[in-house]
Chain A
Amino acid sequence: MPGPDLLSSQGLRLDGRRPNELRRIRCKLGVFTQPDGSAYLEQGNTKVLAAVYGPHQASKSKSSSEGVVVNCQYSMATFSTGERKNRPRGDRKSQEMSMHLRQALTAAIKTEMYPRSQIDIYVEVLQADGGAYCASVNASTLALIDAGIPLKAYVCSCSASMAYKDGVPEPLLDVGHVEEAAGGVTLTVASLPSTGSIALLELSHRLHSDYFETVLSRAMQGCRDIEIILDKAVREHLAEGWTKQDVITI
């Protein structure tokens, strides 16, 4: 009944994925030389760059003796969306995204290790095709690891929404732009999969409480799948890094 057919009778989504499949995720650590850590991540057609500066001395106004100040900025390239954006940042949505990023990342960083310091995390969305927030969190995690900042766990983010196949509700993992625009609800969760805790949860529309559990567990499954992908990328990057360094020392 609600929403157009997001699932075909053969159980495939509009782009050919099954309901429980992630989009293609490709990522790379250390794409830039100047920041302390950087990463590039593609989730389908959503492409995100993240750069980390720090920890460095915090500006006086922000400084906290409790732990490190996590400073995030979410910015979207003006050409990243279908219709051109006028401003890359500063609008309400970007500011909200920045806050959500901070929320999720602070949960993962061992903040108590760097009192009176600051970590800057800058995210640049180059192409937005749905789930830009999720991709930003995932890229930031990689950038933080690249910067060598101690984390409690990987923080991964994934979205899920609802579709109906023959009237039976079926949650869809990792929602793309077309599915987002179809008007259904999108649940976005950022979690630390290895501890199983949730750092951030957001719902775009009303979702009936009957479905909440199934949609959430599908999104959490997505986070776990993403963690595996990120972990593999980190290991590959490190292996590569060692060989490179060897060459230099010789």
Chain B
Amino acid sequence: MSAIANATVAEGHHGHDDHGHHHKETFITKYIFSQDHKMIAKQFLITGLIMGTIGILMSILFRIQIAWPEESFKVFEFFLGEKYATDGVMNPDAYLALVTIHGTIMVFFVLTAGLSGTFSNLLIPLQIGARDMASGFLNMVSYWLFFISSVIMLSSLFVESGPASAGWTIYPPLSALPEAIPGSGTGMTLWLVSMAIFIAQSLIGSLNYIVTVLNLRTNGMSMTRLPLTIWALFVTAIIGVVSFPVLLSAALMLIMDRSFGTSFFLSDIYIKGEVLAHQGGSPVLFEHLFWFLGHPEVYIVILPALGITSEIIATNSRKPIFGYRAMVASILAIAFLSTIVWGHHMFVSGMNPFLGSVFTFTTLLIAIPSAVKAFNYITTLWKGNLQMNPGMLFSIGLVSTFITGGLTGIILGDSTLDINVHDTYFVIAHFHLVMGISALYGLFAGVYHWFPKMFGRMMNKNLGYIHFWVTAIGAYGVFFPMHFIGMAGLPRRYYTNTNFPYFDDLADTNVLITVFAIITACVQLVFIYNFISSIFYGKKATQNPWSSNTLEWTTPVEHIHGNWPGEIPSVYRWSYDYSKLNEDETDYVIPGQDFVPQNVPLQKNEEELNH
């Protein structure tokens, strides 16, 4: 740590009324109903990881069924019980419920709340130089609403008619009519209630993040000096505020249709020998409302991961992120475009083909800022001094899967090509790589990188390496062959493919995919072991283990309420002055140290950049 950086922090005097002396904290105010953003971040992370474990376990269960259809497995009997796995054979209800809840949990509970909830809470105050979030209380409410919605979602697994099983997109009428599928009974009601609470949680959180970033930046922290993590989290929060309310309205209308006899989404339905009274609604309306959130949602998932990656790649390359302004511009462009591309999920929904053309156009536009980001990451690595910490490996892995998955988006975003691969395994391969695996890599990268900040200890790097390499091979092993299965026209959400002998020759590939999936899932246990044991027995962290420039590393290792013991540090530069040379190019700006933290004033022998 540089002497100068320390001096700036230590200079501060105890002039702060609120944070100088602490109230005595009880166990409950410190660990449970905490209003401290660092504790709330940990709560989000741990809840997210638990939900993630459940979500991944579900995927393994249904992958086993796809690979060995209708065979008996003890593991089914154990997890699903006699009713859903009679004699150990998974039944179709259970299969559809598993894919539905897997999707819901992974998209919302792990990759939205677990990823952006964790890192927005942890990093926004620390990296902008704030004592805490604008409203600690709302922040606490946000976590507890998330907790309640998680509990409701999990409780729906235990209701008699089974959990929601109409797919995570819950298109009515299937999701509206218990006559159509058993999961649309109590299970669906709980799903909707859980999601409504989840949305409230997300909105409260997002508003808090936006207000905090706009108002609580420390002295000198202009918007153009913000680390890219903050830009990404800030823009993510804005997208959330714009789009989540629309899903709430869709959920409320669906609740009305289900329980109060309205006909927003239902019309002309004959089911179980009876004509329903509903008249005049349209499921296509629901699809529009759903995807108006649903598409921005994938950027809500991926942008924080990209922000985390930007920070980690720059730090570990010992280089400034290449094209900071272009990176910010791409984040903004992606955010804007993300709200006008939802129709590409609906090319064959029966909407006007002209609309399809418009959405093809906007969708393919979004490839441009995404490409710029990918190229900038690669250029950041170029001529760097790469420190291969586990966080760095996951960040490089993210760029790799983001490219692989993003490229197939060019096929799916093209309305013409979508016709024949729509809703096939090609789509599954695409979105799992581009937002599922990529965002998970972002989550892992963030955990490895900021673990010292969260828990004051280091995670074991060798276990991190094992975790990364097995996951990297496994993830491609699962999702690369899946494209080809989709190309064969195999639809998603099929309980078994044996009713179409045409698909018989895909069976071996499906087995291969499942084997890779099982291995990949198992290696996550290494991560969990590493995570838990490092919390208690990890090596004690130093104040700035990765020699990073951002403000969070100027806080003491032991957490204190208010983050900095003295005054909040002032900021004099952007966060990417890595390996910057002095004007004579004889040495680094600070001799012998290849980084200049943000709180170090401009040096005499230093050229000023416009940041």
A binds B: no
